Structure 1
C-alpha cells in the first residue's frame, strides 16, 4: 500500500492601505464579471436550451466588451 503525502504552504500577506484598496477593487471586479457572465449564461440557456456553453476563449472575448461598457474593470487583470 502506497501512502500519499500532501504538502502545502501557508502564506500571510500584510498589504499596505493602497494595496488593500487595490485588492478589494480587484475582488469586487471579479465578482461583478462572474455575476454578469453567469447571468448571460442563464439567459442564453433559457432562450435556447440546446445551445453550447461559452468556453474560456469566448468568455475572454466577452470580457473585452465588458471592459468597454464598465471602464472600472480595466483596473483588474486581463482575464
Structure 2
C-alpha cells in the first residue's frame, strides 16, 4: 500500500492592518517561547535531576501567564 502526499502552494497578500496583526502575534509567540525556555532552564539549573516539563505540562502554565500578560 502506497501513501500519496499532496500539497498546495499559495501566496497571501495581507493588507497593512493584517501585517501589523501578524507581527504582533509573532512577537507574542516569541515572548511565550522565550519565557517557557527560561523557566525550563531555571528549573534544570536549580535541580538537574528533575524531570523535563513537556509540551502538555507547559500548557497548564499558560493560564497564569495569560493573566500576568494580557496581550
TM range (shorter): 0.7 to 0.9
Cα offsets for 1:17-57 (capped at 9, x unmatched): 11111111110000000000000000000001011111222
Counterpart of 1:14? 13
Counterpart of 2:28? 29
- Could you list the runs of 5+ residues in structure 2 that have no partner in the other structure? none
RCO (CA 8 Å, sep 6+): is it higher in 1 or 2? 1
Counterpart of 1:62? 61
Moved over 2 A (4+): 5-10
Counterpart of 1:75? none
TM-score by length of 1: 0.77
Over the aligned positions, Cα root-mean-square deviation in angstroms equals 1.6
- Could you list the runs of 5+ residues in structure 1 that have no partner in the other structure? 73-79
